Amino acid sequence: MSNCDSCASKGTCNSEGSCSKETFKYGNAKNIIGVISGKGGVGKSTITGILATKLREEGYKVGVLDGDITGPSMPRFFGISDKRATIIPTGENEEVKIIPVETKTGIKVMSLNLLTEQEETPVIWRGPVITGVLTQMYTDTEWGELDYLLIDMPPGTGDIALTVMQSLPVTNMVVVSTPQDMVSMIVKKVVIMIEKMGIEVLGVVENMSYIKCGSCGEKLNVFSKKSAEEQAEYLNIPLIADMPINLDLSEEMEKGEVETFIINNEEYAQLYNNFKNLYK
């Protein structure tokens, strides 16, 4: 059950008692972690994919729920956009069971783009419909026994993000930002929202923090001269890692070999190790 004292809807909610959290119908997850950003385009889905791949490399059973319904990108990230999830009617009150798609390393992925005929098909739905679909993808997917479920959250502080925090048993959040003052300001709003919902913020990943010189390896700041440590201090949360712009990652995504690339990349190993040290 959720804690009403920490809920942003306290005083305006019509629910009697605490709001119940949704549960899996077909499986269980020991740890449910959201990855969120203040706005789109900062690499939130990339960080979700990196963490999922590194967890899987360690032998954990991992699932990824693509919660960014209007901008789903996890199938393309993992190179499975040509595959489709399977919907099986259960014969009970028109309920269904959804079989997710597995990546090359065995990560179970559920995304709206795995249910539509074409990945370019837009979602022209209002908020309540979107949140209903997201909740159903969470509850009706055959996840099996997972050690970790990572939720690629919708960006910002809108209805969908609020619904996830209120109705799904997310225990921790990883925040993704970029080194720009405007982004930092918006991310600060997200951090405050998460804390008001009673969810622990593990820390921030500053993505696109720099570019490495191909000749000498020097770190070249692209956006801001402020350090990642300064941004973390402003947000008042731990710094998990500052990550470079990596053009090779995009190329490996296009080839469908992104998991192998992540496993062999030392910078991603450091991100993962820092994440695990904070998540105990």
40 among annotated binding-site residues: yes
pLDDT of residue 1: 35
109: in domain: yes
Q: How far is CA 100 from CA 88, 155, 245, in A?
A: 11, 23, 30
183 among annotated binding-site residues: no
215 by Cβ neighbours in 10 Å (0-12 / 13-18 / 19+) ranks as exposed
25 among annotated binding-site residues: no
88: in domain: yes
Q: What is the pLDDT along the chain (280 residues), one digit of tens a residue?
A: 344 554 444 554 544 445 678 888 899 999 999 999 998 889 999 999 999 999 999 999 999 999 988 889 999 999 999 999 999 998 777 789 999 999 999 999 999 999 988 877 776 777 788 888 899 999 999 999 999 999 999 888 888 898 889 989 999 999 999 988 888 899 999 999 999 999 999 999 999 988 888 788 788 888 876 788 888 998 999 999 999 999 899 899 888 899 999 999 998 999 999 999 998 7
Read off the pTM.
0.89
pLDDT of residue 145: 96
215 among annotated binding-site residues: no
132: domain CATH number is 3.40.50.300
Structural contact between residues 50 and 265, judged by C-beta atoms closer than 8 angstroms: no
CA–CA separation, 35 and 74 (whole Å): 12
For the chain, the domain total comes to 1
Structural contact between residues 24 and 139, judged by C-beta atoms closer than 8 angstroms: yes
* Boundaries of domain holding 174: 23-278
213 by Cβ neighbours in 10 Å (0-12 / 13-18 / 19+) ranks as exposed
45 among annotated binding-site residues: yes
Pairing of β 62-66 and β 200-206: unpaired
Beta bridge partners of 194: none
Residues in Cβ contact with 84 at an 8 Å cutoff, skipping those fewer than 6 apart: 101, 114, 115
42 among annotated binding-site residues: yes
Alpha carbon distance, N-terminus to C-terminus of the chain: 22
14: in domain: no
227: in domain: yes
Q: What is the DSSP string of 173-187?
A: EEEEE-S-HHHHHHH
27 among annotated binding-site residues: no
131: in domain: yes
85: in domain: yes
CA-CA-CA-CA dihedral for 258, 278, 244, 62, to nearest 10: 10
16: in domain: no
106 among annotated binding-site residues: no
Q: How far is CA 31 from CA 39, 82, 182, in A?
A: 25, 29, 32
2: in domain: no
Residues in Cβ contact with 254 at an 8 Å cutoff, skipping those fewer than 6 apart: none
